[in-house]
Structure 1
Amino acid sequence: MMQTLQQLNDGLLLGYQRVSIAEQLTQFPTKLFELADTLEVLDLSNNQLSSLPDNLADLHQLKILFVSNNLFEHLPAVLGQCPKLEMIGFKANQIRTVPEASIPKQTRWLILTDNQIEQLPDSLGQCHRLEKLALAGNRLTALPNSMANCHQLALIRLSANQLTALPHWLFELPNLAWLAFAGNAFSHVEHCDNTRVPVVPLSQFTLGQLLGQGASGLIYQATHHAEQSDEASFSCQTDVAIKLFKGMVTSDGYPADELDCCLTAGEHPNLINVVAQINQPEQLGLVMQLIPPSYGNLGLPPSLQTCSRDTFEAQTVFTWARITYIASQMADILAHFHQNGISHGDIYAHNIMINTQDSVLFGDFGAASNLKQFTPQHLQLMQAIEVRAFGYLVDDMLNLIDNPNTPQATMLRQLVQDCLQHSASTRPSFKALLPRLASIV
């Protein structure tokens, strides 16, 4: 819920814990300091701000600050003085520099997507609670080696930068489960040349209702005009879903990389089927099967509290049989991905579609990366990172199990424990997980 500057100036927001104002502000509203004893969440996104006051730390209860879509050229050093600030969002500004003192040591969640950052400070390695770090769409050529000390880091988005390689210490972070790096010097596809599915022009479709949207694009229901098609293999598809990618770069990276990963992943019974691609200079897109209305999301995205772990609808309950069936399908899909040299990067319940029979449909390659440049050792380590994400997925469902005391639940807990081993080299592969899941009966 949004508030207004007028409400703030009239004293109507006294006692508020959360304030969100978007009114093309050019200056930080000093009246906010009157809320210092209660204000925990401040969202000043979508304004025209370029600086924060030097006494920002007087907001001594402030835990969460979002200032995305503003005009900052530097990450304000004053942030580092805020005693409780742990979640910081400066997406889509014009930030070029990140001073050593600007990141509070207690930071858990830092979003710097879509800026112009060339270098990160060594002090980032002192953020021992850092769990989620979004850096896609910058100009980074390297990461500070001090980040090897960020042992709580679970999710890092590095897509669409200028990295020439990934540092080896990144693969040794014990809690890392979600890693995306497409669109760097070593992993970028300028043009998607994959011909697994036919290329068709957007003009052959009439777009209908908007079905959904994500970081990288909009998904529409669409009708294909078969009489305009010269692709016999595609002419039978009439009602489809089309994902149209946004602009040049998104928080997930470059559209061409996502298109390439999606097509390289190949076909699988539990993958949302791609039937054609739109590959025009001004517009990239995917033409996909229309997901039946009987399918819905398995989970909900992480909350501000859970940070990197998914949430679920209230009253959600799983049986051991449901967990095992869903996990078996996912392990099979992910084994297929890695066999084809693709990492998914976003293995979450909220990205999984299921129907009433718990049949899985999986997709969304926004955080996927092509592993064709990887050595066998790094391929194994990359899979181990994804196995950890899979372990979290199963663990999230186990936390909602109806009866935790069955032998099958015990076997699932042991499987999760193995997937979450601190040492990546000791985690099982997806292929090795399949017979274990099949034995849980």
Structure 2
Amino acid sequence: MDTLAELRAGRLACATRLDLSCGLTEFPREIFDLADSLETLNLSGNALDALPDDLGRLHKLRVLFCSDNRFTTLPESIGQCTKLDIVGLKANRIAHVPAVALPPSLRWLILTDNQIEEIPETLGHCTGMQKLMLAGNRLVRLPDSTAACRQLEMLRISANRFEALPEWVRSLPRLSWLAAGGNTFDTQAEDAAITARSVPHVAWQDLTLGKKLGEGASGVIHQATLGPSQRGVAVKLFKGAVTSDGWPHSEMTACIAAGAHPTLIAAQSRINGHPDGTEGLVMPLVPPSFRTLAGPPSLASCTRDIYTDDAKWTADIALRIASDIASAMQHLHARGILHGDLYAHNILWNAQGGGRLGDFGAGWMTGSLDASQTAALQRLEMRAFGCLLEELLERCTDAPPAAMSALKDRCMHPNVAARPSFDEALRVLQQEAAS
């Protein structure tokens, strides 16, 4: 029996989670029979354009997903749910966000890929907000009240119409992962970067695709061979649609502009002549002995990665990984690139080879910003590095390096200006390794 039939038959009593994706055009009133237990409601992938006015009857609801539906307005009744922690309505047709639709309890709001032109001042009432996903809309500003969201750690405002970054962005004490590419202020910087640092072009017919290595929101990565020599490479083919991080074009620009670096997985070539016109990049093939350092955050962890129980290493290995990633980030910052997603789940590692940083999905260029703006935004990424150091240190099997621990504290300092640069961080780590 399908889930909707089970719900209507009363067989889901006391359920804490409900997932319904079955072409719904109206909200099933039987959901209210679960009001005393339901905590997670996922109605994504339907044809809904409204939620009931009495949604607040779901008084235990903490997570609400209604992505890939037909909403044109964020339902006001969402604001009645006083325990809501996570709300996601990406890929709808939302143009209007009423002030009362944002419950102050929100920790994670996902409105990616809609048609929103303005966010109400009540966003500033969500003082516990940690993750705010607004890429792919029509925003030219965020309300000044957002400065009160001092717990905010991830902000995605790429692929909008901002003519300048909000000033308060530079001083948020916990902001670590910022993506703002593909905006009005950033367009010239992207164009200049991809012109100045172009890479060789490779004909599609010279590539032979092998097995799929992975797939993300922006594209699919394949193992491949190139040319008569059959050199092993990785190929990323882009999907073209806006993602939670922004436009694939911004990712391509950052990946190309990054250039070659021994601890960075960046573009070697750009693909020409795909039969469907698909854009793609050729990247180095990382040996199979490398594995992902951690998994992405969960609904519960929100902004912090999930490590397996056996994720352990010696202090020397932790120091090597940290040094390799600091070196990669120093290289990016020197080239005017913000990574935007410095996370363990974007790092490959092995005990002998250290760490390799990849995934430029949230990457963007700072060429249109002045020196003080750029320096401040680079210090935001230092907090992301501090989170990584903290996670590496927690999993050391022997005494962690004292200098690395002290550096972690400095990277996570609430005063953004007090944080070190990656130049300094790399020096500290290299000195520790040499001692």
Q: Is the 8 A contact 1:210 1:218 kept in 2?
A: yes
Hey, what's the Cα distance between the residues in 2 that align with 1:257 and 1:144? 25
CA RMSD of aligned residues (A): 1.8
Q: Is the 8 A contact 2:82 2:104 kept in 1?
A: no
Runs of 4+ in 1 over 4 A off after TM superposition: none
Hey, what's the Cα distance between the residues in 2 that align with 1:92 and 1:273? 29
Q: Percent identity?
A: 45
TM-score by length of 1: 0.93
Q: Does 1:288 align with 2:290?
A: no
Superposed CA deviations along residues 287-333 of structure 1, whole A, max 9, x for unmatched, are 11222111110011011111001110123223322221111111111
Superposed CA deviations along residues 136-179 of structure 1, whole A, max 9, x for unmatched, are 10000111111011100000011100000101111111100000
Corresponding residue for residue 8 of structure 2: 9
* Alignment map for 1:135-146 (pairs within 5 Å): 135-146=134-145
Corresponding residue for residue 21 of structure 2: 22
Shift of 1:30: 1.2
Q: Does 1:348 align with 2:361?
A: no
Corresponding residue for residue 385 of structure 1: 380
**Pick aligned residue for 2:215 from 210, 213, 216:** 213
Matching residue's letter, 2:375: Q
Hey, what's the Cα distance between the residues in 2 that align with 1:372 and 1:145? 25
Hey, what's the Cα distance between the residues in 2 that align with 1:279 and 1:82? 51
Shift of 1:433: 0.9
Q: Does 1:420 align with 2:412?
A: yes
Q: Is the 8 A contact 2:410 2:419 kept in 1?
A: yes
Q: Is the 8 A contact 1:47 1:70 kept in 2?
A: yes
- Taking a change above 3 Å as real, the CA distance of residues 291 and 3 of structure 1, as seen in their structure-2 partners, is farther
Superposed CA deviations along residues 361-410 of structure 1, whole A, max 9, x for unmatched, are 2111110010111111011101100001000111122233334xx4x444
Hey, what's the Cα distance between the residues in 2 that align with 1:368 and 1:395? 23
Corresponding residue for residue 432 of structure 1: 424
Q: Is the 8 A contact 2:197 2:259 kept in 1?
A: no
Q: Is the 8 A contact 2:259 2:266 kept in 1?
A: no
Shift of 1:202: 2.4
Shift of 1:279: 5.1
Corresponding residue for residue 164 of structure 1: 163
* Alignment map for 1:5-404 (pairs within 5 Å): 5-188=4-187, 189=190, 192-193=194-195, 196-226=198-228, 236=229, 238-278=231-271, 282-403=277-398
Hey, what's the Cα distance between the residues in 2 that align with 1:372 and 1:316? 38
- Taking a change above 3 Å as real, the CA distance of residues 409 and 180 of structure 1, as seen in their structure-2 partners, is same
Corresponding residue for residue 230 of structure 1: none
Shift of 1:244: 0.8
Hey, what's the Cα distance between the residues in 1 that align with 2:381 and 2:132? 17
Hey, what's the Cα distance between the residues in 2 that align with 1:237 and 1:289? 13
Q: Is the 8 A contact 2:49 2:72 kept in 1?
A: yes
Matching residue's letter, 1:129: G
What is the DSSP-based 3-state SS (H/G/I as helix, E as strand, rest coil) of the residue aligned with 1:200?
A: strand
What is the DSSP-based 3-state SS (H/G/I as helix, E as strand, rest coil) of the residue aligned with 1:212?
A: strand
Hey, what's the Cα distance between the residues in 2 that align with 1:219 and 1:287? 10
Corresponding residue for residue 229 of structure 1: none
358-367 vs 45-54, greater mean Cα deviation: 358-367
- Taking a change above 3 Å as real, the CA distance of residues 367 and 95 of structure 1, as seen in their structure-2 partners, is same
- Taking a change above 3 Å as real, the CA distance of residues 75 and 46 of structure 1, as seen in their structure-2 partners, is same
- Taking a change above 3 Å as real, the CA distance of residues 240 and 105 of structure 1, as seen in their structure-2 partners, is same
Unaligned residue ranges in structure 1 (runs of 5+): 227-235
Shift of 1:3: 6.3
Q: Is the 8 A contact 2:218 2:241 kept in 1?
A: no
- Taking a change above 3 Å as real, the CA distance of residues 344 and 206 of structure 1, as seen in their structure-2 partners, is same
- Taking a change above 3 Å as real, the CA distance of residues 12 and 409 of structure 1, as seen in their structure-2 partners, is farther
Hey, what's the Cα distance between the residues in 2 that align with 1:262 and 1:84? 40
- Taking a change above 3 Å as real, the CA distance of residues 3 and 421 of structure 1, as seen in their structure-2 partners, is farther
TM-score by length of 2: 0.94
280-289 vs 105-114, greater mean Cα deviation: 280-289
